[in-house]
A and B are shown apart, each in its own frame.
Chain A
């Protein structure tokens, strides 16, 4: 069983759909993150949760809505996305004090 598991691995959705990405970590970490990886751009930090509390929202549009019910689970709710939101969405976890982040395999999202 991998340390950080993301589902689904692939997702195709229309611009009017609502979907959710799920992330689960089995490493005993207390911080979780969402990153976006687009072609030809560095990984972009989207959200940070420390001890289930959101501590960072990196100017992410409201069509992305995170949820962290406990330290082991993280969701990213998606609605009315745009084609430019197509990317690989990566979940990561770490201890709150960092620095080492462990990543899931990502969800490849395509918005049509």
Chain B
């Protein structure tokens, strides 16, 4: 069974601070995705990374896929209250597991004004 460990589980910071969320596994994934979920809503896809060592940027968010495709990180620069939410990483094993995502337990981020 593939597992994804996300850390930290909770993060409470002030507006303007930087933060990093980690997603780690002992398994190799063909791709890894990051989602953001607000209370009472479904997860919204932020980014997909597929190549080991890949770095993608989305405004103030930087996503990195580990060289061995077993881990990923999400870095937010100058966090804003609008960044508050649950951040989820999800890995796809590929092969016959196309489309079947294994999720981490999530990081609840609160950004205070």
B-binding residues in A (CB < 8 A): 4, 6, 31, 33, 40-43, 45, 48, 50, 56, 90, 92, 94-106, 108
In the complex, the answer to whether B41 meets A105 with C-beta atoms within 8 Å is yes
A99 to B51, CA, bound (A): 13
In the complex, the answer to whether B43 meets A90 with C-beta atoms within 8 Å is yes
Q: Which residues of A contact B48 (CB under 8 A)?
A: 99-100
- Using A48-B100, A56-B100, A108-B40 as known contacts, say yes or no to A99 and B31 having CB atoms under 8 A apart: yes
Partner of A4, one of B40, B42, B104: B42
Residue-wise, chain B 55-92 has the 8 Å CB interface mask toward A (1 for contact) of: 00000000000000000000000000000000010101
A-binding residues in B (CB < 8 A): 4, 30-31, 33, 35, 40-45, 48, 50, 88, 90, 92, 94, 98-106
In the complex, the answer to whether A101 meets B101 with C-beta atoms within 8 Å is yes
Chain A nearest Cβ from B36, distance in angstroms: 11
Q: Which residue of A lies closest to B89 (CB)?
A: A42
Q: List 15 A-B contacts (CB under 8 A).
A: A6-B42, A42-B105, A43-B88, A43-B101, A50-B99, A56-B100, A92-B42, A96-B98, A98-B99, A99-B99, A100-B33, A101-B99, A103-B45, A106-B42, A108-B40
Having A40-B105, A45-B100, A99-B98, one finds 15 other A-B pairs with CB under 8 Å, namely: A6-B42, A31-B99, A41-B105, A42-B4, A42-B102, A42-B103, A48-B99, A48-B100, A92-B42, A95-B99, A98-B98, A99-B31, A101-B99, A103-B45, A106-B40
